[in-house]
């Protein structure tokens, strides 16, 4: 027995030493200098009332971590143009993005829009995107089951929903599925955290989980077919926030939803740039803090910089569960 333990210890020691030998430290001073680039992100949709573009500066992966607020570029010249009309976006210091009212440059299906960003000390960057058509949601498929919610609480309902839509034939299409549920419920009472039926109700909302990667769907090998999304799980608890004027305090948290329950599910038809960039971001988030995960190469369609300028068109269907 002692011999077996000694052999196992020796094997573990060899594995540990082998892993350490795979790690090679590199002096940052020996690496070639890399110029900072502008990181630009903007997405256009006919449903938007405000057009927004974020502009920040890239940072090295070596050295001190710089916060996002430091990386935000506040003195950029950001222009959007289409069919001879150009608008200049203004910087919003609270949201830290450049914005303009969508009425200044209407976003229309089939139109191509060009983005140009200039900042002193950086290479000027540009990009373009074309607005895809909308694809209507044909129906929502709902499943339900009863489940345990918590002590001293009645059994709750667990819902999951799928979106169904018809894929247009003869073209490559990219989609993203998203949704949320909302309901009116009595305000949770503090510090008891029970429901107060004497006061007004508050709106509670919860995001429907369609999966980090599975929410992105293309019509590859299923062109022109009736598409079915993955199952979207409605959370058992919804988020709420309200102000109690009597106590003059703000409260927020989560609590089991109530019926009637309103489910809003959207199918976004996106362009290829939006689809590839956001799917890669999800892959990158999933691999964070995993030393064995392969690095994720982030795609970009920003000429001279990094980021993504893309477009999408949203179709939404509403279902009320009573």
Q: pLDDT tens, 141-173? A: 999 999 887 777 778 889 999 999 999 999 999
Last residue of a domain, one of 95, 130, 165: 130
Least confident of 9-23, 190-204, 278-292: 9-23
* Angstrom distance (rounded) from CA 250 to CA 202: 13
**pLDDT of amino acid 19:** 52
Least confident of 184-198, 246-260, 273-287: 184-198
pLDDT tens figures, 168-214: 999 999 999 999 999 999 877 665 556 666 778 899 999 999 988 89
Residue 286 pLDDT greater than 60, yes or no: yes
105 and 154 both lie in a single domain:
no
* Angstrom distance (rounded) from CA 160 to CA 319: 12
204 and 249 both lie in a single domain:
yes
205 and 101 both lie in a single domain:
no
Identify the DSSP state of 219.
Answer: -
Contact of 46 with 109, CB cutoff 8 Å: yes
C-alpha distances out from residue 58 to 76, 89, 161, 285, 306, Å:
15, 21, 39, 18, 8
In a domain, 12, yes or no: no
In a domain, 146, yes or no: yes
* Angstrom distance (rounded) from CA 254 to CA 2: 54
Identify the DSSP state of 260.
Answer: S
Least confident of 78-82, 214-218, 284-288: 284-288
* Angstrom distance (rounded) from CA 94 to CA 82: 28
In a domain, 4, yes or no: no
Exposed e or buried b per residue across 37-60, where buried means at least 16 C-beta atoms within 10 angstroms of its C-beta? bbbbbbbbbbeeeebbbbbbbbbe
* Domain, as residue range, for 158: 137-279+312-321
Last residue of a domain, one of 87, 110, 130: 130
Residue 57 pLDDT greater than 90, yes or no: yes
Considering its fold, how many domains does the chain have in total? 2
305: Cβ–Cβ under 8 A, 6 or more apart, which residues? 37, 38, 39, 40, 117, 122, 123, 125
**pLDDT of amino acid 196:** 67
Last residue of a domain, one of 105, 130, 155: 130
**pLDDT of amino acid 175:** 98
Residue 1 has, within 13 A of its CA and on its CB side, a CA count of 0
Is the previous residue joined to 305 through a cis bond, with omega within 30 degrees of 0?
Answer: no
How far from each other are the two terminal CA atoms of the chain, in whole angstroms?
Answer: 65
As a whole number, the mean pLDDT across the chain is: 87
Model confidence at 84, in pLDDT bands (50, 70, 90)? Answer: very high
């Amino acid at each position: 027995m002692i011999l077996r333990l000694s052999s196992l210890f020796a094997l573990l020691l060899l594995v540990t030493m082998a892993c350490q030998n795979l790690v090679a430290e590199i002096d940052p001073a020996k690496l070639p200098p890399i110029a900072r680039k502008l990181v630009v992100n903007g997405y256009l949709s006919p449903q938007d009332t405000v057009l927004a573009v974020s502009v920040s500066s890239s940072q090295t992966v070596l050295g001190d971590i710089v916060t996002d607020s430091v990386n935000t570029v506040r003195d950029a010249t950001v222009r959007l143009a289409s069919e001879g009309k150009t608008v200049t976006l203004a910087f919003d210091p609270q949201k830290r993005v450049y914005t303009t009212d969508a009425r200044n440059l209407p976003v229309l299906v089939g139109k191509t829009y060009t983005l140009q960003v200039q900042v002193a000390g950086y290479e000027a960057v540009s990009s373009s995107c074309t607005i895809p058509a909308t694809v209507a949601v044909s129906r929502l498929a709902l499943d339900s089951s009863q489940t345990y919610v918590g002590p001293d609480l009645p059994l709750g309902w667990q819902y999951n929903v799928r979106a169904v839509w018809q894929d247009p034939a003869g073209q490559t299409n990219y989609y993203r599925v998203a949704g949320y549920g909302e309901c009116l419920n009595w305000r949770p009472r503090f510090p008891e955290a029970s429901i107060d039926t004497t006061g007004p109700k508050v709106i509670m909302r919860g995001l429907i989980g369609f999966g980090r990667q599975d929410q992105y769907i293309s019509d590859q090998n299923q062109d022109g077919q009736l598409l079915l999304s993955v199952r979207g799980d409605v959370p058992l608890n919804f988020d709420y926030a309200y102000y109690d004027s009597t106590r003059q305090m703000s409260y927020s948290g989560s609590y089991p939803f109530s019926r009637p329950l309103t489910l809003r599910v959207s199918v976004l038809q996106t362009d290829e740039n939006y689809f590839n960039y956001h799917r890669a971001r999800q892959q990158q988030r999933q691999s964070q803090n995993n030393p064995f995960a392969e690095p994720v190469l982030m795609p970009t369609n920003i000429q001279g910089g990094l980021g993504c300028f893309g477009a999408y068109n949203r179709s939404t269907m509403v279902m009320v569960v009573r």
